[in-house]
Chain A
Amino acid sequence: MSSLLTVRGLAVAVGGRTVVRGLDLELGAGERLAILGRNGAGKTTLLHTLAGLREPAAGRIDLCGADLAQTPPRLVAQLRGVLLQQQVDAFPASVLETALIGRHPWLKRWAWESAADARIARAALAAVDLAGFAARDVQTLSGGERQRLAIATLLTQQPRLALLDEPLSHLDLNHQIAALQLLSRTAEETGTALVMVMHDPGLAARYCDRALLVHGDGRVESGSAAAMLTAERLSALYQHPLRMVETDGQRCFLPL
């Protein structure tokens, strides 16, 4: 199995503070990695670094076997997609148009979106339960609807590696599960690798194979979800005592 994302000796600094030091990581097709940590621990900064949106302080990142820093941006955008933490729309645009921007890296300079591109976008909208919303103005969407649209845009991009910053934010309970099931199904069927910043260790245990704990002082721990997501480690990570409860083979974590 060839590695989609290879990280060697990565250090990430923000505002002169090193938040991640000596990170080694290898992610193959279809693998799902959860990133957990306290607010301000550097999860988003790490995700942006992995996406090539900011420079690492040290170390090297390979995307699909090639140095990320040397890969042209358009090619990078064909390989990896990013779900940003916030979606801000300064101008009106339709929902379908917004999903279609995911096709941008695949279109030649003078090309217009084809019927096939529109089919991909419509399928993605249907997958996030926005099938009837194609003509709606994005500025009229609710927070949760806008978040699902952002997920649809990412699916329309069809990247081999998807980096998602809090994919569940603004989503109600049923859409949280639906989104995680959709992403997991995409990983299984298309071999897309997932890296997700998450806040619920229970959902991370259920929907991810691996976990990366970011402590914020430079220390990181990574391993299988089963090994990483324990009451002891998570209590240390969040600096708040947690208890693990197992029901029907699923882990839940209760803050005490």
Chain B
Amino acid sequence: MPSRRRALLLLAALAALALASLVAALLAGSYAVAPGEVWAALTGTGQDTAGAVVSGLRLPRALAAFACGGLLALAGALMQVLLRNPLADPYVLGISGGAAVGALLAMLAGLALALINLFAFAGAFAAMLLVFGLARGDGSWTQTRLLLTGVIVAAGCSAVVALILSVAPEHQLRSMLFWLMGDLSHAGTPWPALLVLALGLAAALPLSRDLNLLARGDLIARTLGVRVRGLRGAVYVLASLLTAVAVTTAGSVGFVGLVVPHLVRLAVGNDQRVLLPAAALAGGSLLVIADTLARTLVAPQQLPVGVLTALLGVPVFLYLLSRQTKGSAT
């Protein structure tokens, strides 16, 4: 049984990790900045190039990375409970597919960045409504039906994406591929995503004990007094909106939404009261670290951050998994 005290300690540790990752992101880069200059830039007393680089370039990008990682991990944790499937991720129900179709269409038409983001969000929203409408159908709302509808919509979207890629002119392909792999170099202002992350957590936390029961099954949750139908609808809409905001900001960064909740679950157990905030903090930190590496490893060349998240996360995940198996075997 996780006590509240232990949960708070754990969250404090993760918050420290998040802070450390942000500081590292501010310090690292091809233009050398001393810790003192970072402090000066943050407190607004700095001037010159160092101040501009830190507060104008690195800080917004690091915060956007944190927000996206947090959004994806939180959405992934919610989807895994909703579908009662530890292998579900935020993209499994076609949200990112819809966003990709919107974003790539906008790129194909040569629209400005703001419009690309708008199209991406509209695509995500359309996919969400489509899956929601089709999966409800007869009102039964079973996990299988929802999952199947989502997977089919996602498959349709990736077919459209492949079509767009095959007709797109050569010079647009690179930015399209970067969008698809996830990329934070065009993230823009981080505040809307951060705000949505905070609101999403605030909306999910009061439901977290109900979610613990939902993870054990619809029927058992209902026998213990959970209003399952309303809860599932709310969780679906919430997780979809979080995902839509994340992919609108950074494209479809893979891996974070699947593996961070899983990783956190291996470390702290499946109590959503701890898992949801812990996943948001850990997901945010992971993406900040990955993005910092993505822009420094082979600078001045930038790597798509989605590749880095996978390269970082896979070994950690495999290690935890093997440790877990050994532990339960003894």
Contacts and interface: CB of A to CB of B under 8 A. Distances in A.
Interface of A: 51, 53, 73-78, 81-82, 84, 87-94, 96-98, 100-102, 104-105, 107, 109-110, 112-113, 118, 137, 140, 157
Nearest to B215: A91
Nearest to A110: B206
The 7 A-B pairs of least Cβ separation, nearest first, read A77-B225, A82-B223, A74-B225, A105-B225, A73-B225, A90-B84, A104-B224
Interface stretch (B13-21, B53-61, B263-271): B263-271
A101 B270 contact: no
A128 B89 CA distance: 38
B323 interface: no
A76 B85 CA distance: 29
B211 to A, nearest CB: 11
23 contacts: A53-B222, A53-B223, A74-B225, A82-B223, A84-B219, A84-B223, A87-B220, A90-B86, A91-B216, A91-B265, A92-B270, A93-B270, A97-B1, A100-B1, A101-B224, A104-B213, A104-B226, A105-B224, A110-B206, A112-B4, A112-B273, A113-B1, A137-B328
Most buried by A among B212, B213, B224, B226: B224
**Chain B contact surface mostly:** loop
B224 A91 contact: no
A112 B225 contact: no
B270 A77 contact: no
A101 B213 contact: yes
Contacts of B209: 104, 107, 109
Contacts, number: 75
Nearest to B81: A91
A91 B225 contact: no
Interface in B261-303: 265, 269-271, 273
Interface of B: 1, 3-4, 84-86, 206, 209, 212-213, 215-217, 219-220, 222-227, 265, 269-271, 273, 328
A90 B213 contact: no
Contact of B220 (A84, A113, A140): A84
Contacts of B3: 112
Contacts of B1: 94, 96-97, 100, 113, 118
Contacts of A110: 206
A91 to B, nearest CB: 5
Contacts of B206: 109-110
Contacts of A112: 3-4, 273
Contacts of A73: 222, 225-227
Contacts of A75: 225
A82 B219 CA distance: 10
Nearest to A154: B223
A102 B223 CA distance: 10
Nearest to A134: B1
Contacts of A93: 216, 269-270
